[in-house]
Amino acid sequence: MHLDTSADSPATARGAVAIITNRRGELLLHLRDDLPGVIAWSNHWSVLGGGCDPGEAPATAIARELDEEAGLTDIADLTELFDIRDEHGSGQLITFFSAFWDGDETQLPLAEGVKLQFFAPEDLVLRTIPPFIRDGINRYLAGRRA
């Protein structure tokens, strides 16, 4: 999820991320590369996603990013959820999606970052996660429990 805002101002720049769960209710997180100043939220656990290309819809961007970053093309139930602005990072307005995938994350062809791993929701408190991603995950989990 390299969020480059050079083509757009932060007010109009868009991104898309996906909260992917498996049958156990675990969430797929992505440990981002440790490249401060090069990528947003370096060395943080996040969800898969990235910036929208100019004129690209968030739904198109998330499908492209899932394929590019992890070879995920067989995602079930990709659903648009809500938007949250990354106030303390890229400044982008990020559209959150949810999806279901029940495969072995260790077998995915990771093209960016360090690692992909499923985590139980209660284990997320121990992870370093960007604030806007944590907010999105908490909002998603609260809606799932309701």
State residue 85's pLDDT score: 95
Mean pLDDT by 10 residues, the chain (146 residues): 44 90 97 90 96 95 96 92 92 96 95 95 96 97 84
Q: Does the predicted TM-score (pTM) go above 0.75?
A: yes
> What distances in angstroms separate CA 92 from CA 6, 15, 28, 45, 129, one per listed residue?
11, 6, 22, 18, 17
State residue 2's pLDDT score: 45
Residue 45 · residue 1 · CB < 8 Å: no
> What are the residue ranges spanned by the domains of the chain?
14-145
- Domain over 14-145 is classified CATH 3.90.79.10: yes
State residue 146's pLDDT score: 63
CA distance 18 to 140: 11
CA distance 127 to 114: 15
